[in-house]
Amino acid sequence: MNRWCALLYFFVLSIPVFLGIVAWQSIRYDALNESVRLLEADQKKLVENNRKLIADLTGLSSPSRIGQVAVQNLGLVQILPEQVLQVKIEGSYGQ
C-alpha cells in the first residue's frame, strides 16, 4: 500500500511540474517570436533603404550628371575634335 501511495504522490506532484514546464516554454516561444518579428521588421527597413540607395546610385552615375559635375564643380570643358593631338612614335621599339 505504501508503494502505491508513493507512486500516486509522484504522479500528483509531477502534474504541476509539467504544467510549469509548458508555461515556461510558452513564455520562451512568445519572446522568441517577438524577437523574430522585430528582426523581420529591421530586415524590411534595410531592404527598402538598399533599394533607395541603388536608385540614388543610378541617378548619380548617369553620364549626363557626371558631365554636369565635371563642368560646374571641376571647371572642366569639353574639347573639340580638332583640339585633339595624336602622337605617333615610330621606331624599332616592339619590333
Q: Which conformational region is residue 80 in: left (phi greater than 0), alpha (psi within -120 to 50 degrees), or beta?
A: beta
4 and 12 Cβ atoms separated by less than 8 Å: no
Reported pTM: 0.55
Structural domain includes residue 28: yes
Structural domain includes residue 56: yes
- Spatial neighbors of 65 by CB under 8 A, at least 6 apart, are 59
| CA–CA gap between residue 23 and residue 17 (Å, rounded) | 10
Structural domain includes residue 85: no
Q: What is the pLDDT of residues 18-66, one digit of tens each?
A: 999 999 999 999 999 999 999 999 999 999 999 999 998 888 888 888 8
Structural domain includes residue 33: yes
Count of the separate structural domains present in the chain = 1
- The residue with greater pLDDT, 87 or 24, is 24
Question: What is the pLDDT averaged over residues 79-90?
Answer: 86
For residue 69, pLDDT beyond 80: yes
The DSSP secondary structure of 18-87, one letter per residue, reads HHHHHHHHHHHHHHHHHHHHHHHHHHHHHHHHHHHHHHHHHHHT-HHHHHHHHHHTT---PPPGGG----
Structural domain includes residue 6: no
Structural domain includes residue 77: no
Question: What was the pLDDT predicted at 59?
Answer: 84
Question: What domain range includes position 61?
Answer: 19-69
Structural domain includes residue 12: no
Structural domain includes residue 84: no
Question: What was the pLDDT predicted at 34?
Answer: 97
